[in-house]
A and B are shown apart, each in its own frame.
Chain A
Amino acid sequence: MSETSAAPLVSIEGLKMYFPIHAGLFRRHVGDIKAVDDISLEIFEGETLGLVGESGCGKSTVGRATLRLYDITAGSITIDGTNTSKINQADLRRFRPRMQMIFQDPQGSLNPRMNVADIVGEPLDEHMSLSRDERLARIHELLDAVGLNRSFANRYPHEFSGGQRQRIGIARALALNPKFIVCDEPISALDVSIQAQVVNLLEDLQKKFGLTYLFISHDLSMVHHIADRVAVMYLGKIVELAPRDQLFNSPLHPYTQALLSAVPEPNPARQNTRVHIVLKGDVPSPSDPPAGCNFCTRCPKAIDICHHLEPQTIEIEPGRFAACHLLESATKVA
Chain B
Amino acid sequence: MPEKRPAVLDVKDIETVFNTRRGTIHAVNSVSFSLEPGELLGVVGESGSGKSVTMMSLIGLLPTPPARVTGGYVKFDNIDLLKADAQQLRAVRGAKIGFIFQDPMTSLNPVLTIGFQLMEPLRTHMGMKKAAAKKRAVELLDLVGMPDAERRLSDFPHQFSGGMRQRVVIAMALACDPKVLIADEPTTALDVTIQAQILELVKDLRRKLGMAIIWITHDLGVVAGIADRVMVMYGGQIVEQAPVRELFENPQHPYTRALIETVPDIGAERPERLRTVEGQPSILYARPSACSFRTRCAHAFERCGKENPPLLVTDKAHHVACFWDSATGEPRNV
List the interface of chain A (C-beta within 8 A of B).
54-55, 161, 163, 191-197, 199-200, 203, 218, 220-222, 224-225, 248, 258-271, 276, 278-282
Contact B46 A192 (CB under 8 A): yes
Please indicate the chain B residues that have their CB under 8 angstroms from the CB of A271 in the complex: 224-225
CB <8 Å contact, A161 and B266? no
**Residues of B close to A258: CB separation below 8 A:** 193
Contact A224 B264 (CB under 8 A): yes
Q: How many A-B residue pairs have CB under 8 A?
A: 122
Which of B6-14, B76-84, B195-203, B307-315 is the interface stretch? B195-203
Interface status of B260 (Cβ within 8 A of chain A): yes
Cβ–Cβ < 8 Å partners of A55 in chain B: 162, 191
List the B side residues contacting A259 at CB < 8 Å: 192-193
Is A267 touching B248 in the complex (CB atoms < 8 A)?
yes
By a CB distance below 8 angstroms, the chain B residues around A221 are 221, 263-266
B47 touches A264 (CB 8 A): no
CB distance from A261 to the nearest CB of B (A): 8
- Within 8 Å of chain A (Cβ to Cβ): is B115? no
Q: Within the assembled complex, what's the spacing in Å between the Cα atoms of A267 and B261?
A: 11
Given A192-B218, A282-B164, A197-B276 contact (CB < 8 Å): yes
Binds A, one of B59-67, B267-275, B297-305, B320-328: B267-275
Knowing A191-B46, A192-B263, A271-B224, the reply to whether A200 touches B219 (Cβ < 8 A) is: no
Q: A203-B273, A225-B270 are in contact. Are A263 and B221 (CB under 8 A)?
A: yes
17 A-B residue pairs with CB within 8 Å: A193-B262, A200-B274, A203-B273, A221-B265, A221-B266, A222-B264, A225-B264, A262-B195, A263-B192, A266-B221, A266-B265, A267-B268, A268-B244, A268-B248, A279-B197, A281-B147, A282-B163
Q: Main SS of chain A's interface residues?
A: helix
> Considering the complex of A and B, which 10 residue pairs feature the smallest CB-CB distances, nearest first?
A264-B221, A262-B196, A196-B274, A54-B191, A191-B46, A193-B277, A266-B221, A225-B264, A262-B192, A196-B262
Most chain B CB atoms below 10 A, which of A199, A200, A261, A264: A264
Shortest C-beta distance, B239 to chain A (Å), equals 13
Report whether B224 and A264 are in contact in the complex, using a CB–CB cutoff of 8 Å: yes
Task: Tell which of B46, B147, B222, B245 touches A264, judged by Cβ atoms closer than 8 Å.
Answer: B222
- B194 interfacial contact with A, CB 8 Å: yes
